[in-house]
């Protein structure tokens, strides 16, 4: 995880290459909806080894993972684009309705898809590397859709981090191993506070 241009994708690619050399599947969630995004996608493609297989899938992550076998490494870049894709798809379906229930349901649908993806990766014994943006440390978005995205992304990042074997935060190109600096047992820490 990390902010924009923090080095998270580059670090994830280094991990993938170290784990599997050329046997890497790059699961790209970006959609080239405008020229700027086309340029970003082109730039990302040039950065990674040509031998890697690229699968472009903006929504059905678990379906892709289900079909990957043989202990391969899958680098998914990125979780927050997947979340954005899901929210925008739902917003398009609901644009003529003011349906708050659907807005809350979309979060559960997103978490369910992430959970299913992770379960299938574990079942197939894959190395799954997930890249995600840390979006909750900036300015509060000035519109409802932006705030919905920020909130869902934050909770999705927590969910992924809770299920991951290792979690890294990148800042200015430097990866920080959050497993090494996090509280090993939050409950014990909180219990000790009461005793003091």
128-135: average pLDDT: 96
What per-residue confidence (pLDDT) applies to 73? 96
Between residues 128 and 185, which one has the greater pLDDT? 128
pLDDT of residue 184: 61
**What integer is the mean pLDDT of 36-44?**
82
Residue 43 is among the residues annotated as catalytic for this protein: no
Cα–Cα dist 109/12, whole Å: 26
Q: The tokens 């580059």 sit on which residue? A: 10
Q: What local confidence, expressed as pLDDT, does residue 116 receive?
A: 97
| pLDDT at site 138 | 77
Architecture of domain 8-195: 3-Layer(aba) Sandwich (3.40)
Set 17, 41, 44, 161: catalytic member: 44
Among the ranges 17-31, 106-120, 138-152, which has the highest mean pLDDT value? 106-120
pLDDT tens per residue across span 44-89: 788 788 899 999 999 999 999 999 987 899 999 999 999 999 998 8
Residue ranges covered by each domain of the chain: 8-195
| pLDDT recorded at residue 140 | 86
The owner of tokens 């739902």 is 90
Section 77-106 average pLDDT: 78
Write the secondary structure of the chain as one string of H (helix), E (strand) and C (coil): CECCCCCHHHHHHHHHHHHHCCCEEEEECCCCCCHHHHHHHHHHHHHCCCCCEEEECCCCHHHHHHCCCCCCEEEEECHHHHHHHHHHHHHHHCCCCCCHHHHHHHHHHHHHHHHHHHHHHHHCCCEEEEECECCCCCCCCCCHHHHHHHHHHHHHHHHHHHHCCCCEEEECCEEEEHHHHCCCCHHHHHHHHHHC
């Amino acid at each position: 995880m990390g902010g924009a241009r923090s080095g998270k994708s580059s670090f994830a690619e280094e991990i993938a290459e170290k784990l599997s050399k050329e046997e890497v599947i790059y699961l790209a969630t970006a959609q080239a909806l405008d020229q700027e995004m086309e340029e970003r996608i082109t730039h990302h493609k040039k950065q990674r080894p040509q031998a890697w297989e690229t699968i472009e899938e903006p929504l059905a992550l678990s379906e892709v993972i289900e079909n990957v076998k043989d202990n391969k490494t899958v680098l998914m870049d990125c979780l927050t684009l997947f979340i954005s894709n899901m929210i925008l798809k739902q917003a398009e379906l609901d644009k003529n309705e003011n349906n708050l229930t659907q807005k809350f349901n979309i979060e559960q649908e997103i978490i369910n898809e992430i959970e299913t993806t992770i379960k299938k990766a574990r079942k197939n014994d894959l190395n799954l590397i997930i890249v995600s943006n840390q979006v909750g440390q900036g300015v509060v978005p000035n519109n409802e859709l932006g705030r919905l995205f920020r909130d869902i992304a934050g909770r999705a990042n927590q969910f992924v981090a809770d299920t991951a074997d290792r979690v890294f935060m990148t800042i200015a190109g430097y990866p920080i191993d959050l497993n090494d600096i996090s509280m090993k047992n939050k409950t014990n820490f909180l219990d000790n506070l009461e005793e003091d």
